[in-house]
């Protein structure tokens, strides 16, 4: 309604333009068609005043540029095209020089080492064409070993100031690291930075592990292990690598766990007597509540960000489809109606979208739809894509892509929710089942 | 490299790979592969923990250097870390980029390269027969990093100023030789909308229907039969476009007025007309269109948040006589559809568009300066959101 009124108003305004113009009012035009392209930005090396700082400053500024360029929203202007050099962080920027190379955003920074040997990184973001700073300068202090995190934090800040959305660079991903041939693949849990750096292994490969899921604060991981021969759910503390089993009934199989937004409730699937249903558990006291009791298979539950609803997969209609129900159980509403089979729904951290895996026409897709099932959009297509997980800002999805054939291997990919910027995440070997953690503090 | 070669190349690669290794599967479970099951040593663990230690943020950098001196080296851990990390610089001396510190892993390059080909290709190789016909209308939509109202084929086309109007202009005026050389830089190939991997080619229709409107009309046609032009040009949308003045307003009177105005623009002026319109002839539809097109070429919404993409902003700007915007005069007049932050992002993008594309002066008739000195532009991203 509002929009209609606005359009009407604008239409009337435009209609009246000759009149207004002759009355000396401003000329009015409406721009409705723009372009969508990466914004060109420049990151000259951060200024360093000592040799020690210089060691880090280049790597650090390169990593910031890589973070930003990797989003597909920005395009770095190569340093050899720069006309102007930044030699002092404090002196004013020659905007004309940066305008000349068509840099729309400019990041300048300085790196120094303080008395206690810690890195001090200061930076400013400039809107080149407006000829002014974008917000205030900022400073991060951290350990030298933690320079990558400082760089990610700088990039997050730049990203959010320019786009208006939260960043996601200073975040980690837990996943299943795979090695060995397909028929006897060894799997173990691993954790890495969002860009594939700093891999640490959380378990050994003695037993099959599946589907790790970060807690909302990123300090714990839920996963399913076949250690006992049956799938059981474990919760693992990331810092200490200590773990424990979630208490479930003997003789049952439990899997597909996922934390609620409070980090206390866990929703999971439990198979008993050949029927699979959804349960939730308060991991503080181990109390489980049954949420569904249909003869069909209900699995892959995921909480909404407010914790009030759960989206899950069920084959109650004959084929696997997506449903939403209240988080205490109750009537479920089907939201997927397209051709094919839908699975592994994950609620976006913004709450507006659900990402899912879809199998249709012999191919697998990662897609998104609104929570009422409308505006379904498939973002990828391949032999096997599955298991989407959201970046903390709800703008990027990471998933597993497995290639065909005996030599086929699973790798992690990421894609923007617009379907652009599909690319592989660098991992040393095979990798699957990613779960993207929150931004770190 | 064309698509055919790529497909053929990977097809062959896949075939060779299959021939080499295809026969070797067995289901017998031999012992698994070499794999360092690293238990993390205490030192490593300390290093990891330290790496994970959050940097502290301090706002307001303006206070120059000494800010953090006050902190008296609290954590002993930081001493411990310098040792492991002393090893890293050596590695990074050889290979500065980020990967070095991680694990000095020799392996990464190899998988990465092998990987590149398979993901895209493997499926196509099967579907090739189906793909080929479909691909032809829209050969390389994905790689196009730019989405623009007008799809652009490949880099070849011209300088920015030309890329929108060119289809019309070329026959009339002949391309300027001077513009050819600069082509490499500016307009990259562009798709009319975002094409995801999952989408094939069906969605040409909607974008095509919108197209006719955006071509800037020349001032000459109306001269002979203005009303007919108005009737003849099919205006697909009843949306609020500048074009209306000339063509759509539908009342013959307005159409005639506009045609007259256009004719007058060519013939410099005429008294009767200025009697009707005291402050001189208004801009013609074509001139207004040209201005609109000039701004929208630089209006990049690609880095806007989804909320900012729902925000319409009205931006006022004063132009100098040479058509360049006075940067200080660019201001946000109003916004709708989003919060303050979103409105600011949207305004920033609009301001950049005006400044960038107005850098050399918008192409506006000087004799009508009074008409375009003050401009209010409404930036409505609604149609961009659904691309």
Would you say residue B224 has pLDDT above 60?
no
- B248 close to A (CB below 8 A): no
Residue B78 corresponds to which tokens in the numbers above?
Answer: 């930081």
Q: How many of the other CB atoms lie within 10 Å of CB of B124?
A: 18
pLDDT grade for B57, boundaries at 50, 70 and 90: confident
Within 8 A of A428 by CB-CB distance, chain B residues are: 103, 105, 107-108, 111
pLDDT of A75 reads: 93
Residue B122 corresponds to which tokens in the numbers above?
Answer: 């493997």
Q: How many of the other CB atoms lie within 10 Å of CB of A320?
A: 22
- B333 close to A (CB below 8 A): no
In tens, the pLDDT along A341-350 reads: 999 999 999 9
Helix B285-296 / helix B252-266 crossing angle, nearest 10 deg: 80
- Only one residue has tokens 């269109």, namely B289
In tens, the pLDDT along A70-119 reads: 998 999 999 999 998 888 888 889 999 999 998 999 999 999 998 888 99
DSSP A162-231: HHSS---SSEEEEEEEEES-GGG-EEEEEEEETTS-S-EE-S-SSS-EEEEEE-TTSSEEEEEE-TTSS-
Give the distance between the most distant pair of CA atoms in chain A: 85
pLDDT of B371 reads: 86
Q: What percent of chain A has pLDDT over 70?
A: 95
Would you say residue B384 has pLDDT above 70?
yes
pLDDT of B81 reads: 41
Minimum-distance CB partner of A162 among B27, B303, B382? B303
Torsion, Cα B189 B191 B194 B197, to 10 degrees, reads -80
Whole-angstrom Cα distance, residue A135 to residue A325?
A: 43
More confident residue, B21 or A424: A424
Minimum-distance CB partner of A22 among B148, B279, B355? B279
Whole-angstrom Cα distance, residue A291 to residue B315?
A: 52
Residues within 8 A of A (CB atoms), B 158-187 only: none
Q: What are phi and psi of A310, to 5 degrees?
A: -130, 130
Within 8 A of A413 by CB-CB distance, chain B residues are: 119
Residue B114 corresponds to which tokens in the numbers above?
Answer: 């092998």
Q: Do B282 and A22 touch (CB under 8 A)?
A: yes
Would you say residue A335 has pLDDT above 80?
yes
Strands of B154-303, DSSP E: 190-191
How far is CA A115 from its chain centroid? 37
Would you say residue B157 has pLDDT above 70?
no
Mean pLDDT for chain A?
A: 89
Strands of A194-320, DSSP E: 200-201, 209-214, 220-225, 232-237, 243-245, 253-259, 265-272, 275-282, 287-290, 298-303, 309-314
pLDDT of A79 reads: 92
Whole-angstrom Cα distance, residue B349 to residue B338?
A: 15
Q: What is the ipTM of this complex?
A: 0.76
Residue A284 corresponds to which tokens in the numbers above?
Answer: 């503080």
Whole-angstrom Cα distance, residue B124 to residue A160?
A: 38
Q: Looking at CA atoms only, how far is residue A166 from chain B in angstroms?
A: 9
If you average pLDDT over residues A376-381, what whole number do you get? 93
More confident residue, A398 or B19: A398
User: Domain spans of chain A?
Assistant: 13-22+37-163, 171-439
Within 8 A of B194 by CB-CB distance, chain A residues are: 36, 418-420
The CATH fold of domain A171-439: Neuraminidase (2.120.10)
Within 8 A of B312 by CB-CB distance, chain A residues are: 6
If you average pLDDT over residues A428-435, what whole number do you get? 92
Can you say whether residue A199 is alpha, beta or left, with left for phi > 0 and alpha for psi between -120 and 50 degrees?
A: beta
Would you say residue A175 has pLDDT above 60?
yes
Would you say residue A326 has pLDDT above 90?
yes
CA end-to-end span of chain A: 42
- B310 close to A (CB below 8 A): no
Whole-angstrom Cα distance, residue A194 to residue A167?
A: 12
How far, CA to CA in Å, does A423 sit from each of A340, A397, B49? 25, 11, 29
Answer yes or no: are the C-beta atoms of B298 and A36 closer than 8 Å: no
Using DSSP's 3-state secondary structure scheme, residue B152 falls into: strand
Q: Which of A371, A297, A302, A398 is nearest to A341 (CA)?
A: A297
pLDDT of A78 reads: 94
pLDDT of A223 reads: 93
Would you say residue B86 has pLDDT above 80?
no
pLDDT of B70 reads: 37
Would you say residue A122 has pLDDT above 90?
yes
Lowest average pLDDT, out of A151-165, A425-439, B25-39, B214-228, goes to B214-228
Whole-angstrom Cα distance, residue A21 to residue B279?
A: 8
Q: Which of B131, B59, B180 is nearest to A153 (CA)?
A: B59
pLDDT of B24 reads: 57
Lowest average pLDDT, out of A132-136, A182-186, A231-235, A408-412, goes to A182-186
Helix, strand, coil percentages (3-state) for chain B, rounded to 5, are 50, 10, 40
Using DSSP's 3-state secondary structure scheme, residue A411 falls into: strand
Residue A417 corresponds to which tokens in the numbers above?
Answer: 């929710």
Lowest average pLDDT, out of A132-141, A396-405, B224-233, B340-349, goes to B224-233
Using DSSP's 3-state secondary structure scheme, residue B17 falls into: helix
If you average pLDDT over residues B120-127, what whole number do you get? 41
Q: What percent of chain B has pLDDT over 90?
A: 8
More confident residue, A279 or B158: A279
Interface test with B, best of A20, A30, A55 (most B CBs within 10 A): A30
pLDDT of B279 reads: 58
For B262, the enclosing helix (H) or strand (E) is helix B252-266
Residue B259 corresponds to which tokens in the numbers above?
Answer: 């045609």
Residues 6+ apart with CB under 8 A from B40: A200, A201, A241, B48
pLDDT grade for A4, boundaries at 50, 70 and 90: low
Residue A300 corresponds to which tokens in the numbers above?
Answer: 């892959």
Minimum-distance CB partner of B119 among A32, A401, A441? A401
pLDDT of A71 reads: 92
CA atoms within 13 A on the CB side of A81: 14
Whole-angstrom Cα distance, residue B19 to residue B290?
A: 59
pLDDT of A117 reads: 86
pLDDT of B87 reads: 36
Q: How many of the other CB atoms lie within 10 Å of CB of B97?
A: 12
Residue B130 corresponds to which tokens in the numbers above?
Answer: 């189906």
In tens, the pLDDT along B168-219 reads: 445 455 555 544 444 455 556 767 777 778 775 544 444 444 444 445 545 5
In tens, the pLDDT along B307-325 reads: 888 899 999 999 998 989 9
In tens, the pLDDT along A292-309 reads: 998 999 999 999 999 999
Answer yes or no: are the C-beta atoms of B276 and B209 closer than 8 Å: no
pLDDT grade for B140, boundaries at 50, 70 and 90: very low
Q: Under CATH, which architecture does the A13-22+37-163 domain have? A: 3-Layer(aba) Sandwich (3.40)
């Amino acid at each position: 309604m509002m929009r209609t009124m606005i359009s009407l108003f604008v239409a009337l305004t435009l209609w009246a333009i000759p009149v207004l113009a002759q009355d000396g009012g401003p000329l009015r035009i409406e721009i409705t068609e723009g372009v969508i392209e990466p914004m060109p930005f420049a990151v000259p090396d951060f200024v360093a005043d000592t040799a020690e700082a210089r060691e880090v400053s280049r790597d650090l500024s390169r990593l910031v540029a890589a973070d930003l360029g990797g989003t597909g929203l920005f395009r770095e202007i190569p340093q050899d095209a720069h006309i102007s050099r930044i030699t002092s962080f404090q002196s004013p920027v020659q905007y004309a020089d940066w305008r000349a190379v068509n840099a729309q955003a400019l990041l300048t920074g300085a790196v120094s080492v303080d008395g206690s040997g810690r890195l001090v990184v200061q930076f400013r973001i400039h809107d080149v064409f407006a000829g002014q700073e974008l917000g205030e300068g900022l400073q991060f202090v951290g350990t030298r070993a933690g320079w990558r995190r400082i760089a990610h934090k700088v990039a997050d800040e730049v990203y959010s100031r320019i786009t208006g959305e939260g960043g996601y660079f200073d975040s980690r991903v837990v996943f299943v690291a795979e090695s060995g041939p397909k028929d006897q693949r060894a799997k173990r849990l691993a954790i890495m930075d969002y860009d594939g750096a700093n891999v640490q292994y959380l378990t050994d490969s003695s037993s099959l592990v599946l589907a790790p899921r970060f807690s909302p604060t990123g300090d714990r991981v839920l996963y399913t292990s076949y250690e006992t021969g049956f799938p059981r759910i474990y919760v693992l503390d990331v810092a200490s690598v200590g773990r424990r089993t979630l208490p479930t009934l003997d003789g049952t199989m439990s899997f597909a766990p996922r934390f609620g937004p409070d980090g206390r409730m866990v929703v999971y699937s439990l198979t008993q007597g050949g029927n699979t249903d959804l349960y939730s558990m308060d991991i503080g006291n181990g109390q489980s509540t049954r949420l569904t009791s249909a003869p069909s298979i209900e699995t892959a539950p995921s909480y909404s960000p407010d914790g009030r609803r759960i989206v899950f997969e069920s084959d109650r209609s004959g084929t696997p489809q997506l449903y939403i129900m209240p988080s205490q159980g109750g009537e479920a509403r089907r939201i997927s109606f397209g051709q094919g089979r839908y699975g592994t729904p994950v609620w976006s951290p913004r709450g507006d979208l659900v990402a899912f895996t879809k199998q249709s026409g012999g191919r697998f897709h990662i897609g998104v739809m609104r929570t009422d099932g409308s505006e379904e959009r498939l973002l990828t297509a391949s032999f096997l894509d599955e298991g989407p997980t959201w970046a903390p800002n709800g703008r990027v999805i990471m998933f597993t892509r497995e290639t065909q054939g005996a030599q086929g291997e699973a790798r992690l990919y990421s894609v923007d929710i617009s379907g652009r910027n599909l690319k592989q995440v660098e991992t040393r070997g095979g990798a699957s089942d990613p779960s993207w953690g929150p931004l770190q503090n | 490299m064309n698509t055919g070669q790529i497909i053929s190349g990977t097809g062959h690669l896949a075939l060779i790979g299959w021939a080499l290794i295809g026969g070797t599967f067995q289901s017998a479970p031999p012992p698994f592969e070499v794999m360092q099951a690293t238990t993390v040593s205490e030192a490593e663990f300390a290093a990891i923990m330290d790496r994970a230690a959050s940097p502290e943020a301090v706002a307001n950098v303006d206070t120059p250097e000494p800010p953090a001196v006050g902190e008296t080296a609290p954590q002993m851990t930081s001493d411990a870390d310098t040792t492991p990390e002393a090893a890293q610089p050596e590695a990074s001396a050889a290979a500065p980029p980020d990967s070095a510190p991680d694990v000095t892993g020799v392996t990464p390059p190899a998988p990465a390269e092998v990987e590149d080909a398979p993901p895209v290709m493997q499926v196509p190789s099967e579907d090739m027969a189906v793909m080929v016909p479909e691909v032809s209308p829209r050969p390389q939509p994905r790689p196009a990093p730019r989405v623009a109202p007008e799809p652009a084929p490949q880099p070849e086309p011209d300088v920015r100023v030309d890329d929108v109007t060119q289809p019309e202009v070329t026959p009339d005026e002949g391309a300027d030789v001077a513009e050819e050389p600069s082509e490499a830089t500016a307009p990259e190939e562009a798709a009319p909308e975002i094409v995801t991997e999952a989408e094939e080619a069906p969605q040409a229709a909607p974008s095509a229907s919108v197209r006719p409107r955006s071509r800037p009309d020349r001032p000459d046609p109306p001269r002979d039969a203005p009303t007919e032009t108005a009737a003849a040009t099919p205006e697909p949308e009843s949306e609020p476009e500048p074009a209306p003045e000339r063509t759509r307003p539908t009342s013959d009177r307005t159409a005639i007025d506009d045609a007259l105005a256009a004719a007058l623009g060519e013939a410099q002026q005429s008294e009767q007309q200025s009697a009707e319109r005291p402050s001189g002839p208004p801009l013609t539809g074509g001139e207004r269109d040209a201005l609109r097109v000039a701004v929208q070429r630089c209006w990049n919404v690609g880095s806007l948040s989804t909320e900012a993409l729902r925000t319409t902003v009205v931006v006022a700007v004063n132009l100098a006589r040479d058509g360049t915007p006075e940067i200080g005069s660019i201001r946000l007049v109003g916004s709708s559809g989003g919060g303050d932050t979103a409105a600011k992002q949207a305004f920033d993008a609009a301001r950049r568009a005006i400044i960038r594309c107005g850098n050399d002066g918008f192409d506006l008739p000087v004799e009508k300066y009074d008409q375009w000195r003050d401009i209010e532009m409404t930036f409505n991203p609604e149609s961009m959101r659904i691309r």
